[in-house]
Amino acid sequence: MWDVFMNANVFEGGATGRRDFLGRATVLAAVCGVWGMSPGDAAGAEVAAQRRTAQDKVLAELEAEDESMFRVPGEERALVYWLARLRGAREVLEIGTAHGYLTYELALAAQARGGRVTTIEIVPERRAKAVRHLERLGVAGRVTSLEGDAHVLVAGLRRRFDFVFLNADKSGNLDYWRKLYPGKVRAGGVVLAYNYSRRLEPMMDFVEAARGNPQVATAVFSALPDDVFFGVLDLR
């Protein structure tokens, strides 16, 4: 879509100056009319898209430098970002930061609503690396990074979350669920667990507890053929 906007801009007025501005404004107004947006929204979307493109270049550099495999693949990170955006998440919790790749997606999703991410990692070196990554990616200001055992730290969290991503010890998911739900999950909140198909056995007790709870709706999601997310949606 933005290609259309930029091409039309060149066609209307050349590359610089007032005609350029008028050309952009004309096309912007037309685009906004079609989408029912205000020009301010569209200009904001352009800035956000440019910023994201620059950030994703840094992300590609970090991934190329990082030989560890502590990360959810990009296609699956995109699905988590998408779900968090759909939920309009402002307060996000991640359990299992590792090197912060998924944290980055969650921070971008939360940023869209002026929100923030709390993330917990038990291994100090991983947490330190994640903080460095998030600084380079320009989202560290949106993230509270906690170091320690999430089973202990979750109990002390004072925030209520509208999006929770579980990707640490799978056999701990039931304990996380019990500590988080319902008191630390906002009405309409989402709890998403990774590795539903590859690591189902250790998290089966959590899956059964959620499925047996009439206050929630559950679903599975997949971005890639070899794994699935298990999602819980609060119905209060």
- Mention every residue, 6+ apart, whose C-beta is less than 8 A from residue 42: 28, 31, 32, 35
Among the listed ranges 20-28, 55-63, 165-173, 197-205, the one in contact with ligand SAM (CB under 6 A) is: 165-173
Residue placing its CB nearer to ligand SAM in the complex, 42 or 102: 102
Name the one range near ligand SAM by CB under 6 A: 47-55, 161-169, 197-205, 221-229.
Answer: 161-169
CA pair distance 4, 8, nearest whole angstrom: 6
Which DSSP symbol is given to 198? T
Pairing status of strand 227-234 against strand 185-193: antiparallel
112: nearest Cα among 30, 43, 48: 48
- Binding of residue 232 to ligand SAM (CB under 6 A): no
Q: Is 131 in the site for ligand SAM (CB under 6 A)?
A: no
Q: Is 96 in the site for ligand SAM (CB under 6 A)?
A: yes
| Cβ closest to ligand SAM, residue 40 vs residue 124 | 124
Scanning 33-41, 53-61, 94-102, 179-187 for contacts with ligand SAM by CB under 6 A, the matching segment is: 94-102
Q: Kindly report the CA angle at 177 between 123 and 210, in degrees rounded to 5?
A: 140
Q: Which residue is nearest to ligand SAM (CB)?
A: 96
- SS percent in the chain: helix, strand, coil, step 5: 55, 20, 25
Residues forming contacts to ligand SAM in the complex (CB under 6 A) are: 70-72, 96, 98-99, 101-102, 120-123, 126, 149-151, 167-169, 172
